[in-house]
Amino acid sequence: MNKEKHILLCVTGGIAVFKAAALTSKLIQQGYKVKVVMTDSAREFVTPLTFQALSRDHVYMDTFIEPNPEKIAHIDIADWADLVVIAPATANIIGKLANGIADDMVTTTLLATTAPVMIAPAMNVHMYDHPAVKRNMETLRTFGYHYIEPNEGYLACGYEGKGRMAEPEDILAMIDHHFIRKENKRWHGKNVLVTAGPTQEEIDPVRFFSNRSSGKMGYAIAEMAAARGAHVTLVSGPSSLSAPHGVNLVSVRSAEEMYKTVHSHFDQMDVIIKAAAVADYRPKSFHTNKMKKTEGDLSVEMERTDDILKTLGEKKKNQVLVGFAAESENIEENAKKKIKSKNLDMIAANSINNEGSGFQGDTNELTLFFADGKEIEISLTTKKLAASQLLDAIVPLLEGK
């Protein structure tokens, strides 16, 4: 999906240049075309050859080296870029750019480009806090430049604090989101609630009933919806996954907790996608002390949990309500029954018997059934791409609201 998207990576001199090399590699692996421009100081840290090998392209360093007489290099690459990323961005480059200084290849290119620019600052915590740096950053913000916030933590200079350049995978996520957002305007500003993962139903302080859901499908939907510019709340049962970029994660444990959390957010939501594998039953009583074993068998009496989706369907107003159905037989019949009984706009059904589909894996295969009888097949693909197709299928439902 990133084919032919042109990223111009401006690398300035700081220890985080090594992260820019990792970023270049990730961008190329994701199918972006990358050209790298380096300052003299950046070359003190990592050689241009590293970037040339990783980007599979010429690295630009000197405004006065013009290998192609038909073109002026800094104008040519400035026009070539769909997006410019300055990573790492030193206090020096931020100061020069804020004041319109153009005295090398990076700064002349930056003044010449009309593409959006993302800046990933990297510097010592006191430099980052300096009023001149703050003022310059604010000036650039008013010019329309975007920042990729540095992290807090250990800095190469030995200090602890804010100033560590964002990790390459986070910068990559912001770049992905930039392009996805541009192409999916219908999602901008929409409030989307996604549920994911299993629930855990405790029987005593150390034991619980749960299921094999990893949360991967729900997390992928949340990530892709945030990438499209939606405000995403992800209500997740216990999962080893970390919160996707730009998503508000609310962690819950039991079906009851998920019920309360989802209902407390429901009124503000435009779209609710219930990908969680919610327990249908929980132990009828909770033992406050650890249960001791006894001779013979043990029976645990279970009671029904509330069906969260059904109760949402009952109070639905303008929201688009989407359910999931993991089935081992009669997929179509069961899915269609659930659309009616839970008052859904759409249900995403998968067969847990199919290879590569369903719980825990990284891939999925889904059939989307709509309340109006329409069906869409999503053939076996990664959960992220399946999530993108699922969100595309929801767009016409938003039009009707």
Cβ at position 385, least distance to ligand CTP in Å: 20
Ramachandran class of 98: left when φ > 0, alpha when ψ lies in -120 to 50, beta otherwise: alpha
Binding status of residue 324 toward ligand CTP by CB under 6 A: yes
Residue placing its CB nearer to ligand CTP in the complex, 150 or 198 = 198
Fill in the amino acid letter for 36: V
Query: Among residues 160, 151, 120, which one has the least CA distance to residue 137?
Result: 120
Binding status of residue 239 toward ligand CTP by CB under 6 A: no
Binding status of residue 271 toward ligand CTP by CB under 6 A: no
Phi and psi torsions of 309, nearest 5°: -60, -40
Residue placing its CB nearer to ligand CTP in the complex, 61 or 234 = 234
Near ligand CTP by CB under 6 A, which window of 176-184, 185-193, 292-300, 302-310? Answer: 302-310
Euclidean distance between CA atoms 167 and 148, whole angstroms: 10
Cβ at position 393, least distance to ligand CTP in Å: 16
Alpha helix stretches (DSSP H) within 299-375: 308-315, 331-341
Q: Strand, coil or helix: what is 102?
A: coil
Residue placing its CB nearer to ligand CTP in the complex, 50 or 239 = 239
Residue placing its CB nearer to ligand CTP in the complex, 29 or 264 = 264
Cβ at position 142, least distance to ligand CTP in Å: 45
Strands (E), 32-74: 33-38, 59-60
Fill in the amino acid letter for 211: N
Euclidean distance between CA atoms 244 and 241, whole angstroms: 8
What x/- string results for residues 177 through 216 when contact with ligand CTP is judged by CB under 6 A?
----------------------------------------
Residue 57 CB neighbour total at 10 angstroms: 15
Near ligand CTP by CB under 6 A, which window of 13-21, 52-60, 125-133, 306-314? Answer: 306-314
DSSP 78-98: HHH-SEEEEEEE-HHHHHHHH
Phi and psi torsions of 86, nearest 5°: -100, 110
Residue placing its CB nearer to ligand CTP in the complex, 256 or 392 = 256
**157 labelled catalytic:** yes
Residue placing its CB nearer to ligand CTP in the complex, 95 or 361 = 361
Residue 303 CB neighbour total at 10 angstroms: 10
Host H or E run for residue 272: strand 271-274
Binding status of residue 325 toward ligand CTP by CB under 6 A: yes
Distances (CA, A) of 217 to 66, 205, 350: 49, 29, 12
Binding status of residue 368 toward ligand CTP by CB under 6 A: no
Question: Residues touching ligand CTP: how many (CB under 6 A)?
Answer: 14
Binding status of residue 255 toward ligand CTP by CB under 6 A: yes
Cβ at position 233, least distance to ligand CTP in Å: 15
Near ligand CTP by CB under 6 A, which window of 104-112, 223-231, 234-242, 272-280? Answer: 272-280
156, 157, 291, 395: the catalytic one is 157
Near ligand CTP by CB under 6 A, which window of 7-15, 92-100, 241-249, 322-330? Answer: 322-330
Cβ at position 340, least distance to ligand CTP in Å: 12
Binding status of residue 280 toward ligand CTP by CB under 6 A: yes
Binding status of residue 339 toward ligand CTP by CB under 6 A: no
Give the one residue of 61, 192, 196, 309 binding ligand CTP; rule: CB under 6 A: 309
Q: Strand, coil or helix: what is 11?
A: strand
Specify whether the CB–CB gap between 275 and 194 falls below 8 A. yes
Binding status of residue 10 toward ligand CTP by CB under 6 A: no
Binding status of residue 165 toward ligand CTP by CB under 6 A: no
Helix, strand, coil share (%) of the chain residues, nearest 5: 35, 25, 40
Question: What length does the chain have?
Answer: 401
Euclidean distance between CA atoms 296 and 288, whole angstroms: 22
Residues near ligand CTP (CB under 6 A) are 255, 274, 276, 278, 280, 305, 307-309, 323-326, 338
* Catalytic machinery residues: 157
